Amino acid sequence: MPPTEPPTEPTTEPVVDFRTRPDRYRHWKLDVDGEVAYLRLDVAEDGGLVPGYELKMNSYDLGVDIELYDATQRLRFEHPEVRAVVVTSAKDRNFCAGANIRMLAQSSHPWKVNFCKFTNETRNGIEDATANSGQTYLAAVNGTAAGGGYELALACDKILLIDDNSSSVSLPEVPLLGVLPGTGGLTRVTDKRRVRKDRADVFATKSEGVRGKQAVEWKFVDEVIPKRSWDETIAQRAAEAAAGSKRPTDARGVELPDLEPQRSDTEIRYRHVRATLDREQRQVEITVLGPDGDVPDTVERVHELGADFWPLAMTRELDDLILWLRANELELGTWIIRTKGDVEDALAFERVIEQYSGEDWLVNEIRHYFKRVLKRLDVTSRSLIALIEPGSCFAGALLELALACDRQYMLDGTLDDENSEQGDEAQLVLSASNFGTFPMSNGLSRLGSRFYGDDDYTAKLRQETSRRILAVEALDMGLVTDAPDDIDWEDEVRIMLEERASLSPDALTGMEANHRFVGPETMESRIFSRLTAWQNWIFVRPNASGPNGALRRYGTGKRADFDRKRV
């Protein structure tokens, strides 16, 4: 069951840093034993990210998930020998009680939403590792798994439940807290586990959950294992999963050193990514710098460069920046995306990725990592505007940054401003990677989403790859929103940004999310659109978060006072 302490009043939330490493973990124990790794949840009760609650019963907050995300990344890059990952608990009879209730009750609305979003992304990353990295995740549920604890298990490929007459799996959020399971539980139960929807309804309104043979029969777990043979069977199942992996057996991992951004009140600087913060205009200018230096001509050289290989280094920095801004700079509602560098250099590095991603584990990991960071950008609740100017390198994979934006403005001509890039006009270059290498959550490429319903035109664009496209032609092809000339550029951009900043942030968030994810639904897009949209709404309703709501009254001995009107 979830923790039972009464909620407290909201506290001031801290600046969140998403950087960590295993020797700083407080809540997870990562052990690698040959081709199998064990991730054991052992939450420190006094290790909450914010004062005001204790993380009892292996309940978690954002700090616990920051460590989990770091562990999954390190397993993919630093441990190529690992073919199966067992997620279990270091505590007896308690797998995970889910998100800490006192933490949720005292948190602001943005904190709750950002917490759920990051947790969702981490769970999706676990599924991505199973699907694309040859690292199959198994949940060894050696105690009660409630709420987010069961959702953690749902992200794994197989769920194994100990048969000890007490351990169960449950999603008690609706009956106990008046909210929804926050990290995809409702969707994964039906779409991934193929649980019948009437049984899913019973399960999600039954706070005690299910256990034993019923949990297997109703498909909530794959297997129940007697306590006497638990360790032996888990080791056997992990070995079976590892045997089916194509992960290399003799590869050396790539260490992921600490990122060291320079942060001030107005600027965040990494080696390859820069951000300028304009608080008066409530916007951020993000510039991704293209590669500098020689392009590695062999996969061996890629491995020698390791974390310094530009695509990996840039992606890690962009990932960290997105997370930092989302959590800590809520009022900077417009992100302006730029690139700077040589188009040919950017394409040369992309060709290395394309050439080796099918045969080399590290190059494959880098490609899928960039895909996940682009997806993180897609679901970010900020207005995204791409500015394509002379000196930009929006080509191939980097063009995906512009295509992820809500609008794209491309300068027709050059600028005479002494602070502007001189020389060639702004250019775009399409490559094969723009046609499905980095799919969105809806399963489509960003070009496929942009021209949804016109597959013939998207196919026609394939014929335009590898050539430089100038502003007027890019506008005619539908690749940009507008192409002002050098006379109108500054005024057009300024007016557009001012208009954007004047609109309701809530309305913009809903509009942007609706427009970004067109076409078909997938399990992933449902989790990030339909389910999280409803949770977002429920979090601000008095039935959940009001002073007499279920979330605030849980554990006080008082029943929630519901507004009974259905809306």
Residue 255 inside a domain? The answer is no
3-state secondary structure at position 72: helix
Phi-psi bin for 452: left (phi > 0), alpha (psi -120 to 50), beta? beta
| Across 275-297, average pLDDT | 93
- Count structural domains, the chain: 2
CATH of residue 373's domain is 3.90.226.10
Residue 251 inside a domain? The answer is no
Least confident range of 248-252, 385-389, 499-503: 248-252
Whether 204 and 89 map to the same domain: the answer is yes
Whether 325 and 228 map to the same domain: the answer is no
pLDDT of residue 497: 97
Instruction: Give pLDDT tens digits for 420-470.
Output: 444 589 999 999 999 999 999 999 999 999 999 999 999 999 999 999 999
| Across 477-485, average pLDDT | 97
Whether 270 and 349 map to the same domain: the answer is yes
Residue 270 inside a domain? The answer is yes
Instruction: Give pLDDT tens digits for 546-562.
Output: 999 998 888 888 999 99
pLDDT of residue 9: 45
pLDDT of residue 54: 96
Burial of 298 (0-12, 13-18, 19+ CB in 10 A): exposed
Whether 218 and 284 map to the same domain: the answer is no
Residue 8 inside a domain? The answer is no
Residue 539 inside a domain? The answer is yes
Whether 352 and 441 map to the same domain: the answer is yes
Whether 344 and 466 map to the same domain: the answer is yes
pLDDT of residue 169 exceeding 70, the answer is: yes
Q: DSSP of 18-46, one letter per residue?
A: ----GGG-SSEEEEEETTEEEEEE---TT
pLDDT of residue 3: 42
Contact yes or no for 501/283 (Cβ under 8 A): yes
> What are the backbone dihedrals phi and psi of residue 468, each rounded to the nearest 5 degrees, phi first?
-85, 130
Per-residue CA distances from 454 to 431, 434, 436, 459, 519 (Å): 19, 16, 15, 9, 12
pLDDT of residue 417: 58
Whether 421 and 318 map to the same domain: the answer is yes
Pick the more confident residue, 18 or 421: 18
Instruction: Give pLDDT tens digits for 195-212.
Output: 999 999 999 999 999 999
pLDDT of residue 531: 84
The three-state DSSP-derived secondary structure of 510-564 is: HHHHHHHCCCCCCHHHHHHHHHHHHHHHHHHCHHHHCCCCHHHHCCCCCCCCCCC
Per-residue CA distances from 138 to 3, 132, 223 (Å): 25, 15, 11
Residues near 331 by beta carbon (within 8 Å), at least 6 away in sequence? 279, 282
Mean pLDDT across the chain, nearest whole number? 93
β partners of residue 37: 32, 85
Whether 369 and 414 map to the same domain: the answer is yes
Residue 74 inside a domain? The answer is yes
Residue type present at position 359: E
Confidence of residue 12 (pLDDT cuts 50, 70, 90): low
Whether 198 and 341 map to the same domain: the answer is no
pLDDT of residue 357: 83
Residue 254 inside a domain? The answer is no
Range of the domain at 406: 264-513
Contact yes or no for 71/31 (Cβ under 8 A): no
Per-residue CA distances from 222 to 148, 154, 212, 218 (Å): 18, 11, 11, 10
pLDDT of residue 433: 94
Whether 421 and 309 map to the same domain: the answer is yes
pLDDT of residue 425: 93
Instruction: Give pLDDT tens digits for 102-145.
Output: 999 999 999 999 999 999 999 999 999 999 999 999 999 999 99
> What are the backbone dihedrals phi and psi of residue 407, each rounded to the nearest 5 degrees, phi first?
-140, 155
Least confident range of 11-15, 197-201, 501-505, 533-537: 11-15
pLDDT of residue 423: 56
Residue 256 inside a domain? The answer is no
Whether 392 and 431 map to the same domain: the answer is yes
Instruction: Give pLDDT tens digits for 482-505.
Output: 999 999 999 999 999 999 999 999
Whether 309 and 271 map to the same domain: the answer is yes
| Across 346-358, average pLDDT | 86
Joined tokens for residue 446: 């960003």
Least confident range of 62-66, 84-88, 322-326, 552-556: 552-556
Confidence of residue 536 (pLDDT cuts 50, 70, 90): confident
